Amino acid sequence: MLGSPVKITYKPLWKMLIDRNMTKTELRKRTQIAPSTFTKMNNDQQVSLDILARICIALDCGFDDVVQIEPEEREG
């Protein structure tokens, strides 16, 4: 439903790093992303599209290879 909160997860990115035998630290250094931003991503918090674009360029992939969007479960 439009207007409902969404849950962002970076599981596709973490899986891709494992598949490519690359560490999060290597990716962070390659993309010059701040450690605090990676902390946000580790906690499935939203980051800017610029950050996601830099990751996609570095890994030669698309946004859907990096982030997964799921509807947030509603209580009640």
**Does the predicted model carry a pTM greater than 0.85?**
no
Q: Which residue has the higher pLDDT, 74 or 58?
A: 58
Domain range annotation of the chain: 29-68
Reported confidence tier of residue 67, pLDDT bands at 50, 70, 90: very high
Q: Which residues pair with 71 in a beta bridge?
A: 6
**Beta carbons within 8 Å of 7's beta carbon, 6+ residues apart:** 44, 69, 70, 71, 72
